[in-house]
C-alpha cells in the first residue's frame, strides 16, 4: 500500500511508538509482552489471552518498552510560538484508515492484542461506527469481554441495527449465562437479517434454557455455577464451588495464567444433559466456552466428579493460553495430565499393539475434537494423547510445555512453535516417543 506524502508525514509526526516489554530469562530465552511487572515471587506479564505469571527466580531482567523504537520528533511551533496540535480532518481520516488496515493485518495473524492497539489508534483519530466496531471485535477476540461489550454498546448507540454488534452482544451475554439478554440481541439481529447461523445459536440457547430453566445458582470469585436444586442440593453445589476454586489456584499456577473472567459451570440432570446437549453417549463433561456436566443423582462430591471438573477446567485454561488454537490431542492430553492421570501399563501395552499393526493415527491428523469418535476409538485417542503429553512433560518439564502453549497463543504456527520449544519437529518427536514406548519392558 503506497502512502501519500501527507499521510507519511503525519504518521512520523503524530503516531507514538507502540510500547512492548521484553522479559529476559536466565536460560537465554526472551518473552515479548504488552507489559511486565514484579508481583511477590513472580513476574507477571500481559499477552493477548490474559495475564501470565512466571517465577521471579527464572528471570534475568525486564526491559521496559522497545529500546529500538525511534523517537517521535516534536512539531515545530509556528512563528507565533504556539505549538501546532491540530490535524486537519482529511489527515485524521487517512490516519484512521492506515491504522484500521494495520489492525486487520494483525487480526489475520491472530495477534489480537496488537490489533487492539492499532484499532485504538484508528478510533482516536476518527470516532465512528466502523472504528468502534473494529475495536470491539478485537477486544472480543482478545477475550477482554468488558471492553468488548463497552465498544459494542457504542456501536449500537450509533446504529441500533448493526447486525454484527447485535450478534456479538448475544455471544457475550450467552458467555455470562444471561440467556434472556442473549436471546433479545439475537432476535433483534434476525429482524435486521434472517441469518441461519444466528437462528442456530437461538436454537441452542432455547435448548439450554429448557434444560436449565429455574436452576439455582452459586457464585464464587471465579465461577458462576448453575444447578437444578431438585437434583443437586445446595451442599453439593457449594462443595463443587470449593473444589473448583482449589482447581483454579492449581491450574493458574500450572499454566502460569490468571484469568479474570468468571467461568460458567452448568450442572444438568443426566438425561437432560444428553437430551439437550449435542454430545456423544460416552461424554462425562463438555466445554463449549461453558463447562457442562451431567450429575448422576449425586448428593456429595466424589473422586470421579473431582477429576471431571479439573479436566474440563483445564480445557478452559488451555483455550485462554493458546487463544483457542490448541489441537485436540494437546487439549485432551493436558486435561488428562492435569486431573492427575498417568498412562497405566495396560494402556501402554495397547498402544504398542496398535503401533505394531500400524493402527495408531499420527498426531498431525488429531487436530480437531474427539467428540465425533465412537467410545472405543475415543478411548484410544485419549490414551494416545495422554501418553505423548506425559512423555513431553517428563522430558522437558511443564515449564517448556507452557512456553509451547505461549508460542501458540502468540500466533506462531503449531509446527514452528513445537520445533522452537522442543528442538525437533512434531513428527520427529512422535517417532522418538514411539521408539521409547516400544522399547519399554
pLDDT in tens, 354-385: 999 999 999 999 988 888 889 999 999 999 99
Determine which helix (DSSP H) or strand (DSSP E) holds 59, and give its type and residue range: strand 59-63
pLDDT in tens, 282-311: 888 888 888 998 887 677 889 999 999 999
SS3 assignment, position 227: strand
Set of cell numbers at residue 52: 501470565
230 confidence band (pLDDT: 50, 70, 90): low
Question: What DSSP string runs through 363-394?
Answer: GGG--S-STTS-HHHHHHHHHHHHHHHHHHHH
C-alpha to C-alpha distance for 139 and 148, rounded to whole angstroms: 5
Calculate the CA 247 to chain-centre distance: 18
C-alpha to C-alpha distance for 363 and 387, rounded to whole angstroms: 12
> Smallest Cα–Cα separation from 173: which of 160, 165, 183?
183
C-alpha distances in Å from residue 73, one per residue of 17, 70, 146, 213: 11, 9, 35, 61
Report the topology of domain 19-63: SH3 type barrels. (2.30.30)
C-alpha to C-alpha distance for 309 and 226, rounded to whole angstroms: 14
Question: What DSSP string runs through 128-155?
Answer: SHHHHHHHHHHHHHTT-HHHHHHHHHHH
Question: Of residues 188 and 32, which shows the higher confidence score?
Answer: 188
Set of cell numbers at residue 203: 436454537
Domain with CATH 2.30.30.100 in the chain: 19-63
C-alpha to C-alpha distance for 343 and 379, rounded to whole angstroms: 12
pLDDT in tens, 255-266: 999 887 889 998
Sheet architecture: strand order including 21-25:
30-33, 21-25, 59-63
Task: For cell 475415543, name the residue.
Answer: 378
C-alpha distances in Å from residue 98, one per residue of 9, 133, 423: 13, 16, 39
For helices 426-439 and 375-409, angle between their N-to-C axes, nearest 10 degrees: 130
pLDDT in tens, 213-227: 778 888 888 998 988
| Mean pLDDT, the chain, whole residue set | 84
**pLDDT at residue 79 greater than cutoff 60:** no
50 confidence band (pLDDT: 50, 70, 90): low
Q: What is the mean pLDDT of residues 173-191?
A: 92
231 confidence band (pLDDT: 50, 70, 90): low
Contact 61, 24 (CB under 8 A): yes
SS3 assignment, position 159: coil
Calculate the CA 61 to chain-centre distance: 28
Amino acid at each position: 500500500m503506497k502512502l501519500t506524502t501527507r499521510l507519511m508525514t503525519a504518521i512520523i509526526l503524530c503516531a507514538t511508538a507502540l510500547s512492548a516489554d521484553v522479559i529476559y530469562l536466565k536460560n537465554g530465552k526472551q518473552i515479548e509482552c504488552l507489559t511486565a511487572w514484579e508481583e511477590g515471587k513472580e513476574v507477571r506479564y500481559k499477552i493477548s489471552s490474559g495475564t501470565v505469571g512466571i517465577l521471579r527466580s527464572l528471570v534475568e531482567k525486564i526491559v521496559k518498552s522497545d529500546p529500538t523504537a525511534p523517537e517521535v520528533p516534536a512539531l515545530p511551533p509556528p512563528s507565533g510560538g504556539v505549538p501546532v496540535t491540530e490535524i486537519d480532518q482529511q489527515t485524521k481520516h487517512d490516519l484512521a484508515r492506515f491504522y484500521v488496515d494495520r489492525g486487520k493485518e494483525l487480526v489475520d495473524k491472530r495477534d489480537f492484542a496488537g490489533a487492539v492497539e492499532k484499532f485504538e489508534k484508528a478510533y482516536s483519530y476518527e470516532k465512528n461506527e466502523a472504528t468502534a466496531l473494529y475495536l470491539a471485535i478485537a477486544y472480543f477476540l482478545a477475550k477482554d469481554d468488558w471492553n468488548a461489550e463497552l465498544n459494542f454498546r457504542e456501536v449500537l448507540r450509533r446504529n441500533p441495527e448493526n447486525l454484527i454488534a447485535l450478534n456479538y452482544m448475544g455471544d457475550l451475554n450467552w458467555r455470562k449465562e444471561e440467556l434472556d439478554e442473549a436471546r433479545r440481541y439475537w432476535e433483534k439481529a434476525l429482524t435486521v437479517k434472517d441469518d441461519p447461523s444466528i437462528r442456530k445459536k437461538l436454537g441452542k440457547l432455547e435448548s439450554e434454557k429448557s434444560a436449565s430453566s429455574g436452576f439455582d445458582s452459586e457464585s464464587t470469585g471465579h465461577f458462576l455455577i448453575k444447578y437444578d436444586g431438585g437434583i443437586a442440593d445446595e451442599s453439593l453445589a457449594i462443595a463443587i464451588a470449593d473444589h473448583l476454586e482449589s482447581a483454579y489456584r492449581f491450574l493458574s499456577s500450572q499454566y502460569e495464567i490468571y484469568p479474570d473472567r468468571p467461568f460458567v459451570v452448568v450442572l444438568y440432570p443426566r438425561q437432560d444433559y444428553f437430551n439437550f446437549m449435542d454430545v456423544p453417549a460416552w461424554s462425562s463433561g463438555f466445554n463449549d466456552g461453558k463447562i457442562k456436566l451431567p450429575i448422576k443423582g449425586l448428593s456429595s462430591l466424589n473422586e470421579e466428579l473431582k477429576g471431571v471438573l479439573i479436566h474440563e477446567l483445564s480445557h478452559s485454561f488451555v483455550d485462554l493460553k493458546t487463544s483457542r488454537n490448541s489441537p485436540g490431542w494437546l487439549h485432551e492430553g493436558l486435561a488428562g495430565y492435569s486431573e492427575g492421570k498417568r498412562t497405566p501399563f495396560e494402556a501402554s501395552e495397547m498402544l504398542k499393539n496398535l503401533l505394531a499393526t500400524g493402527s495408531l493415527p499420527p498426531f498431525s491428523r488429531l487436530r480437531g475434537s474427539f467428540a465425533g469418535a465412537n467410545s472405543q476409538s475415543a478411548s484410544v485417542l485419549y490414551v494416545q494423547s495422554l501418553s505423548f503429553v506425559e512423555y513431553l512433560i517428563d522430558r522437558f518439564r511443564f515449564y517448556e510445555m507452557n512456553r509451547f502453549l505461549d508460542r501458540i497463543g502468540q500466533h506462531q504456527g503449531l509446527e514452528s512453535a513445537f520445533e522452537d520449544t522442543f528442538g525437533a519437529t512434531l513428527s520427529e518427536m512422535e517417532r522418538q516417543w514411539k521408539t521409547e514406548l516400544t522399547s519399554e519392558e
